[in-house]
Amino acid sequence: MIASSPALQHDIVPSSSRRARISSIGSRAFLLEAPGEFDLASQRRIWALAGTLRGWEDLAEIVPGMTNLLAILRQTPEDPDVIVARLRDAWEGAQSIDLHGRMIEIAVHYGGEHATDLPAICDLSGLSDREVVRIHHEATYRVFALGSAPGFGYLHGLDPRIYVPRKTVPSLKMAKGCVTIGGMQTGVAVLTGPNGWNSIGFAELQMFDPFSPTPAIMAPGDTVRFVPQRIEL
């Protein structure tokens, strides 16, 4: 017998269509991916969907990602199509909401020993190191989602002039605190270790404390500004 779920198969459609794409990961997790652009509008609807799903008793975890959301059920469903239909309804009904988060200012030491990828960014963008730093700290960012490492916030709002692809060969031991650019996103490394993003500076702010009642400093919807404390070029 070829075991497959017809509904799940049919839901694999190009991301350009307006329907959300819903697929499963293993027996209990379902991933909904918003159609359309990687932008604040899509993310606001994901935040709204997360709000709706918080009222579902049968969910163990809700993990918002970058214009997508992973819903983890407490139990493996008998019929996954029922879950897919419920998620689709919730998505169709989700209105855009704006989270009124906090304003977080992060003091940054731009350049210096931790800015290992600044020369490569200058080469790629044709900008001077001073311009790259200025463009980075002049922008205002929104926390789209947390993930990957404890307390790590994916920040949206990077100026397209300094988009830099992730490195094909990651740095093996990038320090916790490095201020980095990965593709269209920026963020502050929360763990020392292998990292494929590009470092342009360093921040002292502690992003995560497992012993605090609210372990992560950032939350989705927060606004982030990088404040140059020192620029060492």
Partner 1 sequence: MIEIIKTGPFNTVQDLGRPGYRDIGVTASGAMDPLAVKVGNTLLGNDEGAAVIEVQTFPFQLRFSSKAVFTMTGADCRASLDRMELLPWCTYAAEAGQVLELGHPRTLTRAYICILGGIDVPPVMGSRSTSLRGGFGGAAGRFLVEGDVLDLCAAGEADLPENGLAVVDPAFALVDTFPVSSDGELLIRAIPAGEHELFGQDAERFWAQTWKISTQSDRTGYRLSGDPIKPLKPVEMRSHGVVPGVIQVPPGGEPIVQMSDANTAGGYPKIAGVIEADLWRLGQARIGSRLRFVRTTHPEALAAEREITKYLDDVRMTSQMVKRALKAMA
122 binds partner 1 (CB under 8 A): no
| Binds partner 1 by CB under 8 A, chosen from 40, 66, 124, 139 | 66
CA 25/CA 18 separation, integer angstroms: 22
The CB-of-32 to partner 1 minimum distance in angstroms stands at 9
Stretch near partner 1 under the rule CB under 8 A, chosen from 85-93, 127-135, 149-157, 221-229: 149-157
The CB-of-12 to partner 1 minimum distance in angstroms stands at 5
Rounded to 5°, the CA angle 166-64-146 comes to: 55
**Could you tell me whether strands 223-232 and 103-111 are parallel, antiparallel, or unpaired per DSSP bridges?**
parallel
| Binds partner 1 by CB under 8 A, chosen from 2, 103, 169, 172 | 2
Report the helix count and the strand count for the chain, using DSSP H and E.
5, 13
127 binds partner 1 (CB under 8 A): no
The CB-of-124 to partner 1 minimum distance in angstroms stands at 18
Are 118 and 129 in contact by the 8 Å Cβ rule? The answer is: yes
Residues 6+ apart with CB under 8 A from 1: none
CA 182/CA 205 separation, integer angstroms: 20
134 binds partner 1 (CB under 8 A): no
Site residues for partner 1, 36-65, by CB under 8 A, read 38, 60-65
Q: Which two tokens stand for residue 58?
A: 């049968």
Residues found near partner 1 in the complex (CB under 8 A): 2-5, 8-9, 12, 21, 23-29, 31, 33, 38, 60-70, 72, 75-80, 145-152, 154, 190-191, 193, 208, 210-211, 215-216
